[in-house]
Amino acid sequence: MDRNLALELIRVTEAAALACGRWVGKGDKMAADQAATEAMRRTLEAIDICGTVVIGEGEMDEAPMLYIGEKVGRGNGHEVDIAVDPLEGTNICSKGMNGSIATIALTTRGGFLHAPDMYMEKIAVGPSCKGVIDINLSPTENLRRIAEAKSCYIEDLTVVILDRPRHDKAVAEIRKAGARIHLISDGDVAPAIAAAVEGSGVDMLFGIGGAPEGVLAASALKCMGGDMHGRLVFMNNEERDRARQMGIDDFDKIYHCEDLAGGDVVFAATGVTNGDLLHGVRYYSGGAETHSVVMRSRSRTIRFIKSRHSFDFKPLY
């Protein structure tokens, strides 16, 4: 994979963030998502890849662009699989709340799990805890292991969990174990990445969220040397049938980073609203500043990039 692709991908997520950044707090999540999607799609056209969207905005009949199976890129260069969420956290963007990002990952063809749009149980941690977690064990036992690996107390750990009724039991157990909790309303990709950044204030992402978001999180964690366990959560037989149609037959399989994001992975994200990992788009007279992270699994290089955009010379925004 051409290493310059990583820096090209930043342009894609910056464009998406700048486009939906104008919709922060406006109460219109659909308009924000559409703006991000159109900008991401437009910017992808300038990149020398033969990309196939495998994690996207929906099936072909659901999404006008960036749908599953869509071909993107200039059509020359590497054959790659693309996983996108042009605006991960549409609700939080529309309310001006923390944690929304524009994100994309690519890998060699066949590398991504073609995750159906359903739930996935997830545990995500950083490099210091690689090989330590086990999704079959209780939250308490996982926290004990993480604290030991980090040479700290459970009370020093912070766990990020989606604020949902399905997590009430786990939240109670984690509180009883002594760890701190950061409940989020939406957006569990950014916290999974933050868990792999020492000093971010996040030690573990835990709980049930979207399976497509799990592939994006695993892409980043693979590049960072982090660890993740995922297990699909089927709500009904229709979801089981759809998974089967997508080639999934072991419904109890525990997915690791390599299962979710195999191959030569490149990941990029740009903050839309402020978060633990990236600050949101900041506007000033004549321009805006974006904050992004880009990383490659081959080199394990992680770049945090602040870009200042001059709208007089880039009139799209």
Residues that bind ligand VTB (CB under 6 A): 88-89, 164, 186-189, 209-210, 213
- 221-251 burial code (b ≥16 CB/10 A, e <16): bbbbebbbbbbbbbeeeebbeebeeeebeee
Give 70 or 88: the residue with its C-beta nearer to ligand VTB: 88
Give 186 or 227: the residue with its C-beta nearer to ligand VTB: 186
- Min dist CB 61 to ligand VTB, Å, is 20
> What Å distances lie between residue 185 and 95, 164, 205, CA to CA?
11, 8, 13
Element (H, E) at 213: helix 211-224
| Residue found under tokens 């923390």 | 98
The whole-angstrom separation of Cα 82 and Cα 185 is 26
Give 126 or 230: the residue with its C-beta nearer to ligand VTB: 230
- Min dist CB 130 to ligand VTB, Å, is 22
Give 39 or 205: the residue with its C-beta nearer to ligand VTB: 205
- Min dist CB 92 to ligand VTB, Å, is 8
Q: Kindly tell me the burial class for residue 11, based on how many C-beta atoms sit within 10 Å of its own C-beta (0-12, 13-18, 19 or more).
A: middle
Give 210 or 230: the residue with its C-beta nearer to ligand VTB: 210
- Min dist CB 41 to ligand VTB, Å, is 19
- Min dist CB 208 to ligand VTB, Å, is 8
182, 190 in Cβ contact below 8 A? no
